[in-house]
Structure 1
Amino acid sequence: MYLTQRYLLTRDPQPYCDDRLVPLTVGHLVVECLSLTHLRHRYLYRCRGRDSGVYYISKVFGPECLAQGHDVFRFLGEAGILPKL
């Protein structure tokens, strides 16, 4: 993902999330970022763990959640992440 890995190619400083000042990673954007919570609940609710309701990156990008009819790409698009891939 160019958004989170560009610094490795350009030697720029690693990007950080504005919300919590943690490194900007795919995992953070998809399952942790506080500013994306409402979008996560809207589009990725089917991709949570059954027992805890916690989002796991392995489920979000797993075959069940990437299947047709799921909204991973809508989540990425509305979050403004998709064009930066």
Structure 2
Amino acid sequence: MTNQALSGYYDNQLKILKYDPFLLYLRVKTIDGQLVNCLIVKHALTLFYQLKPDLPLALYGHYNQRHQFVITKFMVRLSAAELAG
């Protein structure tokens, strides 16, 4: 289980799989154009609050046995106008 970085855009596909603990599924389109299925548990509510369509993301995590990217750390790139308002 080696960790790796992944950068891309939120593909406007989102599902809440579980509420306790909060498990979120999202689809990310990488810079190469590939679609990657991602799961997040740690800080999932924060990511859920910040997501908007076609938003640039920087993700860090690993792939599980089902070839889903499990996110352990993330960064959402917001503009100054979005942060202020």
User: TM over 0.5: same fold?
Assistant: no
Bigger share in strand: 2
TM-score (norm 1): 0.25
Higher relative contact order (Cα pairs below 8 Å, separated by 6+ residues): 2
TM-score (norm 2): 0.25
